[in-house]
Amino acid sequence: MDQLFNTVKDSIQEMVGSGVKLIPAILIALVIIFLTRYATKFFRQIVSKIASRTIRSRSLQLLLIKTSDVGIWVIGIVLSCVIAFPGLRLGDVIATLGLSSVAIGFAFQDIFKNFLAGILLLVQEPFQINDQVIIGDYEGTVEQIDIRTTRIRTYQGEQVLIPNATVFTSAVQVRTAFAYRRTDLGVGVDYNTSLRQASQLLKETISQVEGVLGNPEIEIDLVSFGDSSIDFIVRYWTKPQQKMVRQVQTRAIVAIKEAFDQADINIPYPIRTLYFYNQDQYNDYMPTPNSDGRSEDALRL
Query: What is the tens place of the pLDDT at every residue in 9-66?
Result: 556 555 555 555 567 777 777 788 888 888 888 888 888 888 778 777 666 777 777 7
**What is the pLDDT at residue 301?**
44
**What is the pLDDT at residue 226?**
86
Cis, bond preceding 216 (omega within 30 deg of 0): yes
* Measured distance CA(288)–CA(91) in Å, rounded: 107
**What is the pLDDT at residue 96?**
59
Least confident span in 162-171, 203-212, 258-267, 277-286: 277-286
Q: What is the CA radius of gyration of the chain?
A: 39
Q: Looking at the chain, which residues constitute the CATH 1.10.287 domain(s)? A: 19-107
pLDDT range class, residue 300, cuts 50, 70, 90? very low
**What is the pLDDT at residue 116?**
81
For the purposes of burial, counting CB atoms within 10 Å of the CB of 13, is it exposed (0-12), middle (13-18) or buried (19 or more)? exposed
**What is the pLDDT at residue 175?**
93
Q: Of 166, 183, 66, 181, whose CA–CA distance to 131 is shortest?
A: 181
**What is the pLDDT at residue 227?**
83
Q: Looking at the chain, which residues constitute the CATH 2.30.30.60 domain(s)? A: 125-174
Task: Compute the average pLDDT of residues 214-235.
Answer: 92
* Measured distance CA(144)–CA(150) in Å, rounded: 6
Q: Where are the beta strands (DSSP E) in 149-289?
A: 149-154, 159-163, 172-174, 181-189, 219-225, 230-238
Q: Of 260, 261, 256, 265, whose CA–CA distance to 209 is shortest?
A: 256
* Measured distance CA(6)–CA(12) in Å, rounded: 10
Higher pLDDT: 143 or 293? It is 143
Task: Compute the average pLDDT of residues 273-286.
Answer: 61
**What is the pLDDT at residue 156?**
92
Question: Does residue 137 have a pLDDT over 70?
Answer: yes
The structural architecture, per CATH, of the domain 125-174 is Roll (2.30)
pLDDT range class, residue 120, cuts 50, 70, 90? confident
Least confident span in 197-211, 249-263, 277-291: 277-291
User: pLDDT tens, 260-275?
Assistant: 999 999 888 776 667 6
- Is the CATH number 3.40.50.880 carried by domain 181-262? no
* Measured distance CA(145)–CA(168) in Å, rounded: 12
Q: Of 150, 110, 116, 112, whose CA–CA distance to 134 is shortest?
A: 150
| Single-letter residue type at 148 | R
User: pLDDT tens, 61-105?
Assistant: 777 777 788 788 878 877 777 776 666 555 555 565 555 555 555
**What is the pLDDT at residue 277?**
63
19-107 topology per CATH: Helix Hairpins (1.10.287)
* Measured distance CA(192)–CA(262) in Å, rounded: 16
Q: Looking at the chain, which residues constitute the CATH 3.30.70.100 domain(s)? A: 181-262
Helices (H), the chain: 2-54, 58-84, 90-107, 109-124, 164-169, 195-207, 242-262, 296-300
**What is the pLDDT at residue 267?**
86
**What is the pLDDT at residue 147?**
76
**What is the pLDDT at residue 298?**
44
Question: Does residue 188 have a pLDDT over 50?
Answer: yes
Interior CA angle at 65 toward 64 and 71, to 5°? 85
